[in-house]
Chain A
Amino acid sequence: MSRTKKIARIFIDFFEIYIPVVTFVLLFLVFLLNVFFRYIIKNPQNWTFEFSVNAFVIVGLVGSCIAYRNEDHVVFDLIYSRISIKGQNILRIMSYSIIVIAFSIAIPPSFVYLWKLRTFVTPIMKIPVSIIFLSFPVLLISSVIRSGHRLVLDIKSYKDKIYIQQYNTEKKDSLI
């Protein structure tokens, strides 16, 4: 693997894997702390609730990126699975094109909106709301990059008359 590819992989893994996993672990520990403080020490902490709900936004939205990377998301493949591989190739090209266009349109206004939120902070921990809500543009950007990459591979497959999907080809295990 080239150095650039390695750096890119580390960068992507940081956003798509490490941030949501670490946030989830913190969320889990904070919940336990909350129960401990409330029932053992009898000293309820307000910050735990605020931390949990905000961490949850990051886990949910950034976690969607890694699910998309592994094609775990819910799809309706009744028609897709019944057509030829060429037809499937065309459907994938159309699907990724729509995602790239729609999400690319949504990225700039999302950042404009986050800029408007720059002075807003959470009441107790004073976490900037824009940092929490940044998860949404991260999801959009990650999806545009990934869909764009898959789009290029699918167009190449079409041009080369191979038609089959060139990514995520390994057999997946059950997630639960």
Chain B
Amino acid sequence: MSWYLIIPFFVLIIAFLLRMPIGFGMLVGSIAYYLAKGISIGSLINTIGYGLTNSYILIAIPLFIFTANVMNSSKVTDKIFDFARSMIGRKPGATGYVNILASLIFAGMTGSAVADASGLGVLEISQMKKEGYDMPFTCAITASTSVIGPIFPPSIPFVIYAMISGASVGKLFMGGMVPAIILCLVIGVYVYFISKKRNYPIGTKVDFMDFLKSTLGALPALMTPVVLLFGIYTGIMTPTEAGAVAAAYTLLISFFVYRTMRLKSLGRILLNTIRTSGTIFLVIAGAYGFSYIVTAEQVSKEVVSVMSGLVSSPWAFLLVVNILFLILGSLIDVNVSQLVFVPIIMPLVHFYNIDIVHFGVMICLNMMIGLLTPPFGMLLFVTAGIGNVSLKEMIRETLPMIIVLLIALAIITYIPETVLFMTRLVK
């Protein structure tokens, strides 16, 4: 490891301070490093270009984003919400539970927390407001349930993690199922107690005919995760191809079954897909530049030798990593934490003999909790914006939910079977 390593990280810190796009900061850092080392900057094209062409799995990301955009634009969310409401029925705080269940169902279609908060979230927040729930709680529960999105398959962070670690996307998707249900349960328990304490409204009674009607209405949308997961686990399609098929399926049902999509809106959806993909891929491109530096400077080797002396057991290592990523998650974007820091600690994961799928699910959940923590709590900003609630009030309501989610994180961290049990079903 040479002193040149300071250059890209110093530039990245400067980029942070100046509010420069982080992907650009990483590229500028790489350019500065290449210049200082006398390496041709042209070879940065090589690193980034071949890095992207060799990451076939990443193609799933724009496809999942496209699916999420189609789902949100075609109001498929309405059908999902109605179905979730008919499932929950009459209970104190029923719409709180509906929020959880709808997020779990929507998670099976999009794989993005922000898609859940900004799409389904609008519906959840307006309905809870209508029923008289207090708004800070409404926004906080919507933000918290959005965390389930990338944990239940499909998942954009899992795809990025698979690219970094070499873990199987199929196994990661399978491994996320039980943790997503654990998240639903812990949030559900919290909703149960808070609804009793605050006398939240009891849901409407749903008779069998209403239930049947809402189920039939939601059935085409509910088939999306079935199409996706069936395609992957029967080996018919790769996760990337499944992303394309799921997108085609959502387009078909939006145009021809629900008739809620117009050709005119397709242009906007495509443009938004490119914009969102562009934000992720700039960070990925910058991360390729950084990963070349990290490899050339043998940073991982140094980190392993230092950390293995300081931390004696896998348990302690997982604790340290969880604390580190919770702090990182509250400060920087999920993709940045994942693309910059995960490659550095991956050799330690192998050193401590931790299953990479278990580690992947744990780290992704950890980073999703980071989306709820200020100052860089993207989900807080999105839902507070929708509900027109002050961030201060919302943070106060979100804190107990973060504690509940941390309990789930601890369970998933220290009981690897919660993740690995399902992965054994995949060959």
Residues of A within 8 A of B (CB): 17, 20-21, 24-25, 27-28, 31-32, 34-35, 39, 49, 52-54, 56-57, 59-68, 70, 72-80, 91-92, 94-95, 98-99, 102-103, 105-106, 109-110, 112-114, 116, 129, 132-133, 135-137, 139, 143, 174-176
Contact of A95 (CB < 8 Å), options: B20, B112, B243, B335 = B20
B18: chain A residues within 8 A (beta carbon): 80, 91-92, 94-95, 98
Query: A interface, by DSSP: helix, strand, loop or mixed?
Result: helix
Instruction: Please report which residues of chain B, range 233-283, place their CB below 8 angstroms from some CB of chain A when the two chains form the complex.
Output: 236-237, 240-241, 243-245, 247-248, 270-279, 281-283
A60: chain B residues within 8 A (beta carbon): 52, 58, 62, 277-278, 281, 284-285
Q: Are A75 and B21 in contact (CB under 8 A)?
A: yes
A66: chain B residues within 8 A (beta carbon): 271, 274-275, 278
Q: Are A174 and B118 in contact (CB under 8 A)?
A: yes
Q: Mark contacts of B138-174 with chain A using CB atoms, 8 A cut-off: 1 yes-contact digit, 0 otherwise.
A: 0000000000000000000000000000000000000
Minimal Cβ-Cβ distance residue in A for B13: A76
Minimal Cβ-Cβ distance residue in A for B386: A174
A105: chain B residues within 8 A (beta carbon): 31, 35, 41
Q: Mark contacts of B38-67 with chain A using CB atoms, 8 A cut-off: 1 yes-contact digit, 0 otherwise.
A: 001111111011001110101100110110
Q: Is B345 an interface residue (CB 8 A)?
A: no
Q: Once bound together, how far apart are the Cα atoms of A79 and B114, in whole Å? A: 24
Q: Is B293 an interface residue (CB 8 A)?
A: no
Interface size on B, residues (CB 8 A): 76
Q: Are A72 and B52 in contact (CB under 8 A)?
A: no
Given known A-B contacts A35-B244, A176-B112, A57 and B275 have beta carbons under 8 A apart = no
Given known A-B contacts A57-B49, A57-B52, A32 and B244 have beta carbons under 8 A apart = yes
Query: B interface, by DSSP: helix, strand, loop or mixed?
Result: helix
Minimal Cβ-Cβ distance residue in A for B114: A176
Q: Are A25 and B52 in contact (CB under 8 A)?
A: no
The contact sample of 29 A-B pairs, CB cut-off 8 A, is: A21-B270, A24-B273, A31-B63, A31-B243, A32-B244, A32-B245, A32-B248, A35-B245, A52-B59, A54-B53, A56-B53, A59-B62, A60-B284, A62-B278, A66-B275, A72-B278, A76-B332, A91-B19, A99-B28, A103-B31, A136-B44, A136-B45, A136-B49, A174-B114, A174-B382, A175-B275, A176-B69, A176-B72, A176-B112
Q: Are A59 and B270 in contact (CB under 8 A)?
A: no
Q: Are A73 and B277 in contact (CB under 8 A)?
A: no
Residues of B within 8 A of A (CB): 14-24, 27-28, 31-32, 35, 40-46, 48-49, 52-54, 56, 58-59, 62-63, 65-66, 68-69, 72, 110, 112, 114-115, 118-119, 236-237, 240-241, 243-245, 247-248, 270-279, 281-285, 331-333, 335-336, 375-376, 382
